[in-house]
Amino acid sequence: MENYILPINLLIADDHQLFIDGLTKILENEKIIGEIFAVNNGKEVSETISLQSIDCIIMDINMPVMNGLETTKQVKLSNPEIKIIVVSMQCDVSIVSKMLKAGADGFINKDTGKDELLTAINKVMGNEKYISPAISRNLFSFFSEKKNISSENEKQLTARELEIIKLIADGLTNQEIAAKLFLSTMTVDTHRKNMIAKLQLKNTASLVKYAFEHKLL
């Protein structure tokens, strides 16, 4: 069954020390687990994998310095053989799909227990993907709902538009934004109108609300 080399050297990347301590305690007596390393942010992940022989990373999404998404992308670029299991509290479908696109091999919820974690480690080390049943249920209902196709081809704003919506939310007028970005007032106004149009909103107020709901700020 297990065609991978034992024991597995683990790296835990999480900014919550208590979580690391707990996870280490849970896993340290498991036969299949070898050494366990731990870091508190994404930047330290790169450093650790260049120094140690890591087989699998247990990764949190929300970390300071460099978040789980960026870190996953980088690791998979430099060391695609290293398996990555994402452990998260947020299980919005959009996050899950982003992480999987970035190259994650597994995705489990912090709600799940020890046994599922070990299952996940086994699966990904055997080159399979593993997603918590709770999450895959969500994924299923997500893809079966026609409405949410719109969140898939997520009408996204361009870099310039993002820059401008942030300033709008801060209460700046077109004029003030134009001055700040060395643009014509009319250009800023055009960007604003384009955003309102493409997102099918009514006015600036609802645009700010949209930005918040989609975490663009």
Partner DNA sequence: GTCTATATACACCAAAACGGGTATATAAAA
Partner DNA sequence: TTTTATATACCCGTTTTGGTGTATATAGAC
Residues that bind DNA in the complex, under the rule CB under 7 A: 158-161, 168, 173-175, 181, 183-187, 189-194, 196, 202-205, 207
For a copy of itself, the closer of residues 60 and 105 by Cβ is: 60
Residue 124 near residue 56 (C-beta atoms within 8 A):
yes
Give the interface size with a copy of itself as a residue count (CB under 8 A).
Answer: 35
CB of 162 to a copy of itself, least distance (A): 15
Q: How far is the CB of 210 from a copy of itself (least distance, A)?
A: 9
Which of the listed partners (a copy of itself, DNA, none) does 111 bind, with a CB threshold of 5 to 8 Å by partner kind?
a copy of itself
| Smallest separation, CB 80 to a copy of itself (Å) | 27
Q: Which does 175 bind (CB under 5 to 8 A by kind): DNA, a copy of itself, none?
A: DNA
Residue 19 interacts with which of a copy of itself, DNA, none, CB < 5 to 8 Å by class = a copy of itself
Minimum distance, C-beta of residue 117 to a copy of itself, in the bound complex (Å): 7
